Structures are given as structure tokens and as C-alpha cells.
Structure 1
Amino acid sequence: MSTPTRVYIARLSGVAVFDPNGDQVGRVRDAVARLRTTQRPPEVVGLVAEMPMRRRIFLSLNRITSLDADAVVLGTGTLNLRRFEKRPNELLVLQELLDRRVQLDPGGQSGAVVDVAMECSRGGEWSLTRVAVREQTSRLTRRGHLHQVEWDKVRGLSGIATTRGTANLLAVLEDMRPADLANALQDLPDTRRNEVAAALDDERLADVLSELPEHDQVEILAALDRERAADVLEEMDPDDAADLLNELPPPEQDVLLDLMEPDEADPVRQLLKYTPGTAGSVMTSEPVILPPDATVAEALARVREPQLSPAVAAQVFVTRAPMTTPTGRYLGMVHFQRLLREPPADLLGGIVVNDIDPLRPTTPLPEITRRMATYDLVAMPVIDRNNRLVGAVTVDDVLDHLLPRDWRDRDAVTGALTTEEELDEAHG
């Protein structure tokens, strides 16, 4: 194995994993260590890598030919794609040790684990040998001293952690996309998951909640105080916030809606009125809307706004004033590809397309799917009986409601390994 003899594991998180041909197959998310019955430090037996479709698999260290903070390269052979499941005598290093409160010997200083090093012996065995611990300090303006000490000089690494922070685990997770971070949270014990979720800022937590199964969304929201929960709901897209609130009892819905700012709560209240399985229940009430006298240049500037999802940014809806839903009379829409082909000074009213009948709030999901597929659309307008635009259904909204209700739950999608034989296969 071409690799340093000592590797700090937090630095491996997110590192790309390549096959022998140089193709990326996933990213490192953690290391697996096997606890020993003796006083020797745990033996590191492999890495956990995240593959496409959020599947996490086990990579035995024996399969790895190169390992450092830049890349992990696998040797030849068949890659076992069975989902990783931790055995009772194993330890997920980053998940279970980062931020753990420990004490150092001698001296008894207390601190939090910020990283753990694994080291290779002359016989080729990897073990957890050193721990980086940030000393606790009462001074808010100064960070505590960083100690790097031998594994056996740290007390509190085994057993259940009673008090833990989140800063170092969040540092490891901060570069993940919301969907990948949601996947990582599902691997954590419920208490730890709720701690990490609560430590995210409102916008980040809102994005992550939208990627979690409904039962996890509800549990995380319930663990927050109500004022913080309302703040997070305000950061969510109205349709996502409505979906989440639909999982709560009506009295709790009312409490959270009352705590939200009125201009944030009103579109959510409106979405909650629609019958499930209809256009009204799955649409977003905040598509890109411009008047007919807006220019192509103005429309392109709007669809470039970074907070817009690709599906929402794919088209501009043209209406009379007012420009917020429910708008004035709906006139039509312009796809962004058409905008790219027109002179920047041209007006939207001259290129608007209105030859496709809009949806109604009561249009059922199967009909929406059929029409979007027929016309190869990524979004369709939804208008009321007065021809006012009330929202738009995007392809991601449709997929989210066509897939099984538990599709975001990795256990339901991939199936958990339950037998000892399957566990052996998953560990190579």
C-alpha cells in the first residue's frame, strides 16, 4: 500500500475513492475500527464509502492500494456493493468519537476529540494510535490548546458518551450537499442526529430536512423549541414546509404557523388547503414570475439566481400584475432555452407561449404526469378559475410524490443486512 504510515481520519472524510482504472466510485465517509478484548487500541479494518444512490459500503483496507488525504485507490477485484452494517464490536471512528468529551492522563485536563490517527505497524496492521484533543477553556475569545496524545493516555473513549459537542463533526460534514448530509444524519443515533441537526443554521437545516424521510423530519422538528422550528419552516420552500406540517397534528400545525412571519406562513396555509394528490398539494407557490413588458435580459437575470432549483429556473411565467401568487391574469410561459436565443432587449410579451392548457389546483397527479410527459415539460403552470397563476408543478415535485412514501429512507430502499452471513459478505 502506497500511503503514509500515519493518517488522521477526519482528513479522509470526503476524499474521492477511485477504482484501478482511475474512475471515481464514491467518497470516504468514515473508518471502521474493531474493538479488542485486550488493552490494545482498536484495529482499523476498513473504510466506509458512500456510493451513488446514497449507498454506503465497506472497503477493506486489504483492498486499498493507496490511501492519503488526496485520494483512495482500490486494487483489482470485484467491489462488494452490499450496504454496510456496523457489527456490535465495531466502532465508526468519526461518527462516534468526534466531539466526545474526554480526559487526558496525566494531569486530567478535559477536552473534546477533534481527530483520531490510525497507524500502520511493520506487520501491516492498522490501529488507532493517537488522538487529537482540544482542551476546554472558559475563555470565549481563545481556543484551548490542542494535544496530540497516545490512545491509552485518553480516558473516556469507550462506552456511551454522556456529553458531546458538534463543532468537529459539523466541520467534517460542512461540504456535503444537503442530500448527502441527510444521508449521513440517518446513520447517527437519534439523540446524536438531533444534536447535529440543531447545530446547523436555519437555512442549512431547512435544506437538509427537505431531503429526509418524513418520520425523521418530524422527529428533528419536534426536538427543536417551537420558535426555532418556526424559523426553520420559514427557510423551507412553501411546498416542502406544507408537506412537513401535513405530518403533524392540526393543533401543532396551527401553533407553528402562528409563530411564523405572516408573509411566510400565508402561502403555506394556502397549500395546506388543497386535497392531497392534486396539483394544488404538490405545486410550488413561488415560481419565477415576470410581467409581459420585462425584457429577456431581466428574465435571464432572474433565472440565474442561485437559490432557485434547476426545475424552477427552467422557465419564466408571464402574468399581469400583481407578480406574486395569486397573480393577475396568466398570459403564458417562456422556457430559458428560448430566452438564450432571443435578443436581450426583446420583451417577454412578444415571445410568450400559451398553446398548452395550464393545470387546475384540482388536477390529479396521474393527469399531471401524463401531460408533462406528453409535452416534455419540466414544469407546468397552475391557474385558478379566474385565470390567475397560483403556482407551478415541477418535475421534482411529481417524482417526489410518485415514488414510494419512504423512498428517502435508505433502509427501505436498499434493505438492511440482517444475517451473520450477509454481514460477513458486506465486510469483504
Structure 2
Amino acid sequence: MASGTPRIFVSHLSDTAVFDPNGDQVGRVRDLVANLRVGNRPPTLLGLVVELSTRRRIFLPMTRVTGIQAGQVITTGVLNVRRFEQRPTERLVLGELLDRRVRLVESGEEVTVLDVSVQQLPARRDWEIDRVYVRKGKAGTFRRAKGETLTVEWSAVTGFTLEEQGQGAESLLATFEQLRAADLANVLHHLSAKRRIEVAAALDDDRLADVLEELPEDDQIEILGKLKEERAADVLEAMDPDDAADLLAELPEEEQEKLLELMQPEEAADVRRLMAYEERTAGGLMTTEPIVLQPDATVADALARVRNPDLSPALAAQVYVCRPPDQTPTGKYLGTIHFQRLLRDPPFTLVGTMLDKDLQTLSPDTSLPEVTSFFATYDMVAAPVVDDSGSLLGAVTVDDVLDHLLPDDWRETEFHAAEVNPVHE
């Protein structure tokens, strides 16, 4: 790229698509890697952390970046697909520099880093962090009041190399606001333990619950253990009951009981019920919150329930009809209606007249292999779980089946890919 390259603020690079010279997308930018230098010299930007479609995070040296423009990064096409591993002398720009408290050299005033900018050096392929966008004011005032903001030269601030406790996360989260829960979970997993806890603490309960469901087990336990007990209980309530039950099952019994006591009684009752079943059975896999309707409900009622954006696609694929009460585990199961059938009938049609009564049900003690065979045989994405008395206990969804069929560490591994060159020179 020629000299005079425009200044780029790193928050604008988050989630930017990365393309090879042929226009094929190879991944998305998840962070930038910099090398802090002695004194007030601007840090060298070493490269980008790029997440491939397989969720593998690799290092892309800046020497292999031929263009950054219009929301895209263009590479030379030569990629090293070995997993990125951060070196002790390197800093993740988004993950570690944003939200830091530093000081203005001239006045000694403490400020918060909101963003930094990078620029390519004239007549060279080297890049460096040249400016820092900061906000004046006390830490923790981000949501209550906006202090004065200003952009200063890198040499005008000091304190980036100091260890900081209680670093905020608002600016970092703003850069990842549009990420799906699974992608944000992948970002958290690759942060340092300290930074991971700080970011988790800054998420609201619902967002943190969604992210926890996508994290590896060790990360889940680590984060939950660092939250205050009252908040940990609130987050567990916001999780799907089956995921909350799986997480609690990994904790010591005394801690399980303490958190269950702090949860709302109804939410805790669902989780306790799920924890009573063996893990690799239909009862252990199911969710207690499928869409349940009474037989005098209409197609319009059913479609309104299906439209709930908080439902997973698998849960929204069908509804279950029961005699009152229309909730698990006491409603008497009558039958299932698939989403496609709901689309074919008039809105005023009663759901009790259009049941699929031929679909077999699962008992709560059905083993995982039997559940898997059931889904494969009938091409199902969800199935009802019914006890001996005919009461609907819940529903097993295909995503929960896959979670238990894949290796325990599947969230931490990626599809194998050929490795090209050494990691990063």
C-alpha cells in the first residue's frame, strides 16, 4: 500500500471479513497483535488474529496484508493455518488494551482507553499504533456520564505496560456487540483468565447466559465461580434449564444446593427435575420449556408462539398439544404439530384437530443411542419426552443430541486443516 494510508481505528476492524486475492472469504478479524516497545515509541502492529470458518484462530502477519479498505482485509493468499498462540511479549489490542486506565503524560490525569488507531508507515510495509482515543473521568462512569473524549499521540499517554486490576470491558464489548453468542464465547475462551472474568462481569445476565451455554465446561465453571452467588443464580435462571442443569452437575453438591436455593422456586424446580435423570438419557437431554398448547388453541396462537425470537430453531420446529394444564410436567400429551403443517392450515383452525398422533414418544430413561436412532429414523429435529402416565415432561432437540455425541472437548478443537508455514516469524 502506498504512503499516506488513512488512519484506521481498530474497533472498525473487529469482525471484518478477510479475503484472498481471488475474492474468496477466508475468515474474520477477531483481534490485532502488537508488540509494546520501550519508552514512548509507538507499538509495532505484528498482525491480525483471524478466525476461519472452522473457528480456528490463526495469525496473519501484516506483511501478508495487501489492503484494508471498505470493511474488508485483503491478503496475499498465503495463510499459515496453525492455531494462533500468543507470545509473552505480545499484546492483543482489542482484548487487552481497550478499557485500560492510563495517564496523560502532560497532566498526569487518569483516562480510559476507548480505541486506538493504526497506520502504515510511509514507503514500508510496517504498521504501528500511532494514536489513542481516550475518555477523561473516573473509572466505572461509562454508563452514567460521558466525560470529555480526545485523541492523543501514543507518546502522550503512559501506563500500558503496568498490570491493572479491575479493568473495564465496555469498549471491548461494544466492538463485539453484533457477534452471535457462540462467536463471542470463542472470543472469551481465547482471552486471558483475568480478562475473561472482567468481560463476563460486564455482560448482562441474558447475554452472559447465552455465552455460557456455548463455552467449554472449564470456562463455564471458572466464570460462574467468580460471580457473586446472587448473580450466579440469576444467570442460571436465564440459561436453558437443561444447560443450567448440566453446569450445576459439575459443581460440588454444597455449591449446587446453595445456588438452587437462591434461584426462583419455579426455575429451580425445573433444574432439579432434570438433574434427577441420568445424563445420557432422554430425561437428561431434554428441555422442560417446549411450546405447549391446549387443544382449543388456534393455528394463529401456535404461530405467534413459534415466532418468539428467543426460541432455538429446533424448539420452534414443532408444538406439543396437551390437555390442561398446558405446561410440563403435568399436561397430558395428545400429539405434535410440525411447523410446516401450521403453515398449510387456516389461522382459525384448532390445533386439537390436526395432531400427528402417529409419532412415537421418548420415555425419560431412553438411552442416548436409542434417541439418536429415533432422530435418524424419523428425520426429527425435536421429539417429545412422555412418562408412563402420559404426561409431557419436555422435548429433546437435535442440538442437545449433537452436544453429547461430539467429543467432550469439541468446543475447544477445530476441523483439521493442512498447515502451511511456521507460526509467525
The corresponding residue for 2:424 is: 427
Give how far 1:173 is off: 1.9
SS in 1 for 2:188: helix
Q: Aligned equivalents of 2:18 and 2:78: distance in 1?
A: 15
Give how far 1:328 is off: 2.7
TM, length-normalised to structure 1: 0.93
Q: Cα deviation per residue 1:124-175 (whole Å; 9 max; x = unaligned)?
A: 2211111112112489654222222221221101242344211111111221
| Residues matched between the structures, number | 419
2:277 is aligned with 1:274:
yes
The corresponding residue for 1:326 is: 329
2:272 is aligned with 1:245:
no
> RMSD over aligned Cα, in angstroms?
2.1
SS in 2 for 1:325: coil
SS in 1 for 2:326: coil
Q: Cα deviation per residue 1:59-109 (whole Å; 9 max; x = unaligned)?
A: 22222222136221223x333222111222222111111111111111111
Alignment partner of 2:147 out of 104, 127, 144: 144
Asked if structure 1 preserves the Cα contact closer than 8 Å seen for 2:64 and 2:78, the reply is no
Asked if structure 2 preserves the Cα contact closer than 8 Å seen for 1:12 and 1:68, the reply is no
The corresponding residue for 2:78 is: 78
**Gapped regions of structure 1 (runs ≥ 5):** 416-421
The corresponding residue for 1:198 is: 201
**Gapped regions of structure 2 (runs ≥ 5):** none
The corresponding residue for 2:186 is: 183
Asked if structure 2 preserves the Cα contact closer than 8 Å seen for 1:28 and 1:47, the reply is yes
SS in 1 for 2:171: helix
TM, length-normalised to structure 2: 0.93
1:368-379 aligned at under 5 Å gives the runs 368-379=371-382
Give how far 1:274 is off: 0.6
Asked if structure 2 preserves the Cα contact closer than 8 Å seen for 1:99 and 1:165, the reply is yes
Q: Aligned equivalents of 2:98 and 2:39: distance in 1?
A: 23
SS in 1 for 2:113: strand
Aligned amino acid, residue 284 of structure 2: S
Q: Aligned equivalents of 1:29 and 1:392: distance in 2?
A: 36
The corresponding residue for 1:408 is: 411
Q: Cα deviation per residue 1:238-263 (whole Å; 9 max; x = unaligned)?
A: 11110110011111111111111111
Q: Cα deviation per residue 1:152-200 (whole Å; 9 max; x = unaligned)?
A: 2211012423442111111112211111111111111112111110111
Q: Aligned equivalents of 2:314 and 2:283: distance in 1?
A: 17
The corresponding residue for 1:121 is: 121
The corresponding residue for 1:164 is: 167
SS in 2 for 1:380: strand
Alignment partner of 1:352 out of 340, 352, 355: 355
The corresponding residue for 2:68 is: 67
Asked if structure 1 preserves the Cα contact closer than 8 Å seen for 2:95 and 2:195, the reply is no
Q: Cα deviation per residue 1:262-302 (whole Å; 9 max; x = unaligned)?
A: 11111111101111211100100111111222211211111
The corresponding residue for 1:310 is: 313
The corresponding residue for 1:418 is: none
What's the % identity of the aligned pairs? 56
Q: Aligned equivalents of 1:198 and 1:39: distance in 2?
A: 32
SS in 1 for 2:314: helix
Greater CA deviation, 269-278 or 339-348?
339-348
The corresponding residue for 2:18 is: 17
SS in 2 for 1:108: coil
Over 3 Å counting, the alpha-carbon distance change for 1:138 and 1:259 in structure 2 is closer
Greater CA deviation, 320-329 or 234-243?
320-329
